[in-house]
Amino acid sequence: MEIGSKGFKILKVEDTRQYEEINDRWKPIPGSGMEHDCHRCGKTHEVLYTVECLETKEIFVVGGSCAKAYGMSKKKVASLSNNIKKIKKLEREIEKCKAEYEVNKKAYDAILELTPPEPKHVDNTKHGSEIWVMGDAQVWCSTGFTEERKKCLLDSWRHNCLVKQGFKPYNLHSLPGTIRILEDRLEKIHNKIDELFNS
Ligand SMILES: [Zn+2]
């Protein structure tokens, strides 16, 4: 293939490999991607660059080193590869968090359906606060068993149910925030890639 005098433009970069989590880090699984023979050198690649010849408008799919050989800046290709990998990792991480949240949410929703035991005033602290229990949950009430204390006791009982089923209630509260942060990060990387394509 001839390299046109106007050069090439990168249209798309795709990391077709699957990623797996090893020791809290996402790593590509070698050989898991969609293999493609490079239009330029014939080698097989799993990270694919779709490039357009600006002169003939022909479109080719090549590997990263061949994209560089087409006159694309090394920095740009490296930055694209880097960001495309980050996207893969982030997408897997978001998927994992969402699945984890769903499992926790489902368990909690089932607990919400349960009829809680009756709250009981069992004792007073030495400072005079009332001690109320619901099953294995307990609250201290310095100004009586108010609506706020009732809710706190019920929440605490549900929390304990979740723990007894082997869940971490912390996940239920923290995962939506974590997912939002990861999605923000993902969006920023997509924007960065768009900038790189248009630069
Ligand atoms: Zn090649």
pLDDT for 147-195, tens place per residue?
A: 999 999 999 999 999 999 999 888 888 999 999 999 999 999 999 998 8
Gap between the Cα atoms of 33 and 46, Å rounded? 5
Of the residues 72, 104, 120, the one at which a domain ends = 72
Residue 96 belongs to some domain of the structure? yes
Q: How far apart are CA 51 and CA 66, in angstroms?
A: 10
What pLDDT band is residue 7 in, cutting at 50, 70 and 90?
Answer: confident
Tokens 């699984």, residue located:
29
In a domain, residue 15? The reply is yes
Report yes or no: 60 and 1 within 8 Å, Cβ to Cβ.
yes
Residue 28's DSSP bridge partners are 19
pLDDT of 3: 47
pLDDT value for 6 = 65
Q: How far apart are CA 163 and CA 166, in angstroms?
A: 5
Using the mean position of ligand 1's atoms as its centre, give its distance from the Cα of residue 25 in Å: 29
Counting the structural domains of the chain, the total is 2
User: Residue 158 in contact with residue 151, Cβ under 8 Å?
Assistant: no
Question: Does any domain span residue 81?
Answer: no
Task: List, as ranges, residues with CB under 5 A of the ion ligand 1.
Answer: 38, 40-41, 62-63, 66
Nearest to 87 by CA among 177, 26, 176: 26
Residue 185: inside a domain, yes or no? yes
| Residue 64 belongs to some domain of the structure | yes
Residue burial 54-93, b: 16+ Cβ < 10 Å; e: rest:
eeeeeebbbbbebbbebebeeeebebbbebbbbbbbbeeb
Q: Is residue 143 part of a domain?
A: yes
Same domain, residue pair 98 and 148: yes
The overall longest dimension of the chain from CA atoms, in Å, is 90
pLDDT surpasses 90 at 141: yes
Residue 77 covered by a domain: no
59 in any annotated domain: yes
Instruction: Tell me the one-letter amino acid at 23.
Output: N
Whether the per-residue pLDDT at 137 is higher than 90: the answer is yes
Are 107 and 163 part of one and the same domain?
yes
Give me the pLDDT at residue 76, please: 85
Distance 63 CA to ligand 1 centre (A): 5
Query: Is residue 91 scored above 70 in pLDDT?
Result: yes
Are 103 and 131 part of one and the same domain?
yes
Same structural domain, 20 and 118: no
Residue 22 parent element (H or E): strand 19-22
Co-location of 14 and 107 in the same domain: no
Do 93 and 67 share a domain, yes or no?
no
What spacing in Å lies between the alpha carbon of 188 and ligand 1's midpoint?
A: 29
Q: What are phi and psi of 25, to 5 degrees?
A: -125, 140
What is the Å distance from ligand 1's center to 53 Cα? 15
Task: Give the residue numbers spanning the domain of 107.
Answer: 89-199
